[in-house]
Amino acid sequence: MRPHEGHTPQAGFTVVELLITVIVSGLVAAATFTFFAGQQRVYEVQTKMVSVQQNVGMATEMLVRFVRASGNGMVGCVRTDGDEGGPDTGAPPPVGPALPLTAAPATGLRAYLAGTGVVRIPPVWITNGSNGAPDTLTVAFGNGSFGSWYDTEVGQSMPAAKPLDPLKWAAVPATLDNLFRVGEFVLVMDASSLPSRAAPLYNDRGCSLFAITSLDTGLDVIGRSTTSKWNPPSNTAGALMVPFSYDAGSAAGAIRHFGTLNWIRFAIQPGTDTTAPALTMQRLDQGTEPEVLSDGMVDLQVAYACDNSPNDGVLSEGPNKLADEWILNVTNDPVPVTCQKPEAIRLTLIARSLTPDVLLSQATGNKKPAVEDGKAGDVADQYRYRITTTTVFPRN
C-alpha cells in the first residue's frame, strides 16, 4: 500500500532536537524554581515582619494605656499640680534607682507591704539603664477614685505614728458607706494646700495608703485589719506611714476612696539560647513574678519632658539634646530637679524577628539600632528589627 503523502516511516526527532528541547525545558524549570523560591523567601520574611509588627504594636498599646492612667487618684499627694501652680517645690524627678520602694529621696504614696516594711509607690518611675541598657518603667494608679482634692474630711483626728488607730470619715455632708468597699484601698491625706508642716515634710501632701478590710457604717469607721499585707501589723511597724497628725475639721485631714491599686513594672527580659527576649509586665501590687507581655522585644527606652525653659507650650528638642526640654533622650543627659511631673513621656520599643534570616543581605552591618540614650548592638546578627515610638501625655 502506498504511504500517505508527506509521511514516511523514518519520521521523528533528531538527537540535536532532543538536546535543544531538554536544555530549554531545564532553563524554564530552573527559572520557575528560582521565581517560586524567591517568592517563598519574600513570604517568609514578610510573615516574620508581620509577627514582629503585631508584637511591638500590642506591647506599645499596653504601655500607652498604663502610662496615660498613671497617677490617677494621687492628685494632691505627689508631684501635684491641682492648683495649676506647678509641682510641689523640692519633689524629686521621676527617675532613680531600680527599686523605688524605699529609695531616697522618697516619693509617692506611703504604704506598708508585708515582708518589706514601709514603702513608697510613685505614680511614674523610670530607671535609666546603665551604659545604654534597656530602661525600666514603673507606673501606679487607682481605679474608682474621683481625682478631686479630697472626698470627705477626717471624722476623728488620726494621731502621728498611729496607723492602726480608728479611721473615721465625716458624717457631713453625707455618709460614704456606698463608696468605700472592702478589699479596695483608702487614702488618708493632708488636705491643706499651705506649707504649714516642718521641713522636710511640708512638700509631702501626706497621703498614706491602707487596705479596707471592714466597714462600720453605723460609726462611719473604716476597718484596717492586719490580715491584709497592705496594713501594718502594729502601730510601731507602720509609724512612718503617719509622720504627722491628720486633724479633723477645717479640711486639714481628708479620706479618699482610692479603689483598686495598680502598681506595675515593665522591663526587658534578655533572651537565652532557648528563649527570645521579651517585654515583661510585673504586678507589684499582687506580688507576682514578671510575666511575658510580648516576645521579641530587645529594648525599651523612656524619655520624658517638661515645658520649663522657657514655658512656651512647646516641648523643645533641638540639636543640643543635653540642653533641651527632653530628658534621657541622649547619653549622659542630666536629670533636672525642675521637672518632677512629666508633661510628656516618650516610649520607644525595639522588636526583632524571633528567628534569624540566614539570607539577610549586608548582615555584617545589621545590629540592634541605638535610640534615645540606648546603646546599639555590640555585634552584627541576622535578625530583622523594627522600632516604634509614641509620645504619651499623662492625664493626672
Q: pLDDT tens digits for the chain (396 residues)?
A: 555 555 555 666 687 777 787 787 777 777 776 766 665 665 555 666 666 777 788 888 989 999 999 999 887 777 544 334 455 555 678 998 887 777 655 678 889 999 888 888 989 999 999 999 999 999 999 987 766 667 788 888 888 889 988 888 886 555 556 778 899 999 988 776 544 444 444 445 568 999 999 988 888 889 888 889 999 999 999 888 887 788 887 667 888 889 999 999 999 999 888 888 999 999 999 999 999 998 889 999 999 998 876 667 788 898 888 888 999 999 999 998 878 888 999 999 999 888 887 777 666 778 899 999 999 998 888 888 889 999 999 887
β partners of residue 347 = 302, 390
CA–CA separation, 241 vs 111, rounded Å?
6
Beta strands in the chain (DSSP E): 109-113, 117-121, 124-127, 136-143, 152-153, 167-168, 185-190, 208-211, 214-216, 221-223, 253-269, 278-283, 291-295, 297-305, 326-327, 344-352, 385-392
CA–CA separation, 390 vs 85, rounded Å?
28
Q: Residue 103 has what DSSP assignment? A: -
Q: What is the pLDDT of residue 202?
A: 45
Cis peptide before 159 (omega within 30 of 0): no
Q: What is the pLDDT of residue 20?
A: 80
Place of cell 514578610: 46
Contact 347, 63 (CB under 8 A): yes
Q: What is the pLDDT of residue 246?
A: 83
Burial 318-338 (b: 16+ CB within 10 A, else e): eeebeebbbbbbbeebeeeee
* Residue closest to 269 by CA, chosen among 59, 28, 102, 27: 59
Record the cell numbers describing residue 234, joined without a space.
502594729
Q: What is the pLDDT of residue 277?
A: 93
Q: What is the pLDDT of residue 83?
A: 39
**43 Cβ partners below 8 Å, 6+ apart?**
none
For residue 53, which amino acid is it?
A: Q
- How many residues are there in the chain? 396
Beta strands in 48-148 (DSSP E): 109-113, 117-121, 124-127, 136-143
Contact 354, 50 (CB under 8 A): no
* Residue closest to 282 by CA, chosen among 50, 388, 77, 125: 125
Contact 88, 194 (CB under 8 A): no
* Residue closest to 209 by CA, chosen among 123, 273, 128: 123
Record the cell numbers describing residue 364, joined without a space.
555584617
CA 77 to chain centre: 21
H-run or E-run covering 39: helix 15-69
Rg (CA), the chain: 32
For residue 355, which amino acid is it?
A: T
β partners of residue 299 = 350
- Beta strand pairing status for 214-216 and 208-211? unpaired
Place of cell 525595639: 350
